[in-house]
Amino acid sequence: MTRDPSAAIRINAEDIRRRKGGVPIVCLTAYTYPVARLLDPHVDLLLVGDSVAMVLHGHATTLGASLDMMIAHGQAVMRGSAKACVVVDMPAGSYEASPAQAVTAARRIVEETGCQAVKLEGGVDMAVQIAAIVAAGIPVMGHIGLQPQSVEKEGGYRIKGRTEENIAALFRDAEAVEKAGAFSVVIEGTVEAVAAKLSHHIPIPTIGIGASADCDGQILVIDDMVGLTVDRVPKFVKEYADLRSVVADAAARYAAEVRSRAFPGSDHVFTTAPGKDEI
Toward ligand KIV, which CB reaches closer, 213 or 252?
Answer: 213
* x/- map, 246-275, ligand KIV, by CB under 6 A: ------------------------------
Which residues does 110 contact at the CB level (< 8 Å), separation at least 6? Answer: 1, 118, 138
Shortest distance in whole angstroms from residue 9 CB to ligand KIV: 25
Q: Does residue 133 sit in helix, strand or coil?
A: helix
Q: Does 219 bind ligand KIV (CB under 6 A)?
A: yes
Taking alpha carbons only, the member of 133, 89, 70, 76 closest to residue 107 is: 133
Helices (H), 87-220: 99-113, 127-135, 151-154, 164-179, 192-201
Among 39, 51, 113, 116, interactor with ligand KIV by CB under 6 A: 51
- Between CA 144 and CA 118 the distance in angstroms is 15
Among 84, 109, 221, 226, interactor with ligand KIV by CB under 6 A: 221
Q: Does 186 bind ligand KIV (CB under 6 A)?
A: yes
49-57, 171-179, 226-234, 249-257 -> range binding ligand KIV (CB under 6 A): 49-57
3-state helix, strand, coil in the chain (%, to 5): 40, 15, 45
Q: Does residue 202 sit in helix, strand or coil?
A: coil
Among 44, 89, 173, 178, interactor with ligand KIV by CB under 6 A: 89
Q: What are 190's strand-pairing partners?
A: 160
CA 170 to chain centre: 21
Please list every residue from 93 through 152 that binds ligand KIV, using CB under 6 A: 143
Shortest distance in whole angstroms from residue 220 CB to ligand KIV: 7
Could you give the residue numbers annotated as active site?
Answer: 188
Toward ligand KIV, which CB reaches closer, 62 or 81?
Answer: 62
Half-sphere exposure of 7 (CA within 13 A, CB side): 9
In the complex, residue closest to ligand KIV by CB:
49
Number of residues that bind ligand KIV (CB under 6 A): 13
Residues forming contacts to ligand KIV in the complex (CB under 6 A) are 29, 47, 49-51, 62, 89, 143, 186, 188, 209, 219, 221
